[in-house]
Amino acid sequence: MNARWPAFRDRACQQCQRVHQALIEQGQLELIHVQADEIRVKARGMVIWMGLAMRVSSRLWLAGVVSRTRDTRLADRLLQQVRACCRAGSNLLVCTDGWAAYPASIKRAFRDKVKETAGRGRACLRVWSGLCIATVIKRTEKKRVVEVTRKMTLGTLAYASTLLQASRGGTVLNTAFIERLNGTMRERLAPLTRTCRHAAQRVHPLETGMYLIGSTYNFCCPHQELSKRRTPGRQQQTPAMASGITDHIWSVLELVRYQVAPPPWVEPKRRGRPRKRPLPDPNVPKRPRGRPRKIR
């Protein structure tokens, strides 16, 4: 293998991460229905957790987080990325598995400051009124699912069913779509396979590879189910096209060469004591120094 390949791979993955942040994490998407789950990655001498989230209606990959521990920080980071993609105050259904950290992290992510009293005082943090949280717990015996428990952690089942129908996410509460995305990630990213000789050794390559696979999944790979919704004779459709982010299928070269706009310039904070006298006007001529010359 060429010694330059790891450096090129890292640059390509970082470019995919910038494209994802510039086009998807802009708070302009009407998500309606989101599913989140984690993947347990067996690495060399350690276990790594990869959290993923997707928009069900367009199969768009929204967020991904890689961590060595499966704790509240992982759930908070994942849901904050989903919050960056969602339009503020919109109606939203979030379906997860039975991990206890999810409900509190979802409530912390999808809340806004509300000033309830006039005059001085702090604003309160209120959860969105249109937010629903559903939990799907599967019980297995001998590697087979024998029982599925569905419950609402926040919101009503009738309202959640309305959001399910609007997003074409099935007739009952489920996590089938995010589990299918987990299978796609395991298929396309080599260190995620369950039995392999190329297990991950560090967290960073796994995170960069996640953005590479996720961005090509969003922009470059036509989705079979989304293409069926198109009228006969039309072109195939990617998750980014179904979400209204782009109007054509990207090539990998176009993804890598996409020009991301730099962040807006912010004037640096002036250090030191504040200036007491105003700055001199450059149009006014300077006053000569010293004594004037004597005219003889």
Range of the domain at 247: 5-116+123-256
- Which pLDDT score, from 0 to 100, does residue 277 have? 80
Q: Residue 234's pLDDT band (boundaries 50, 70, 90)?
A: low
Q: Is residue 290 part of a domain?
A: no
Q: Is residue 278 part of a domain?
A: no
Specify the CATH number for the domain of residue 104: 3.30.420.10
Q: Is residue 281 part of a domain?
A: no
Q: Residue 2's pLDDT band (boundaries 50, 70, 90)?
A: low
Lowest mean pLDDT among 39-48, 53-62, 128-137, 175-184: 39-48
Over residues 127-148, the mean pLDDT reads 90
Q: Is residue 207 part of a domain?
A: yes
Q: Is residue 224 part of a domain?
A: yes
Q: Is residue 276 part of a domain?
A: no
Q: Residue 249's pLDDT band (boundaries 50, 70, 90)?
A: very high
- Which pLDDT score, from 0 to 100, does residue 285 have? 80
In the predicted model, is pLDDT for residue 235 greater than 80?
no
Q: Is residue 267 part of a domain?
A: no
The tokens for 25 are 């994490």
Q: Residue 197's pLDDT band (boundaries 50, 70, 90)?
A: low
Q: Is residue 103 part of a domain?
A: yes
- Which pLDDT score, from 0 to 100, does residue 107 have? 94
Domain count, the chain: 1
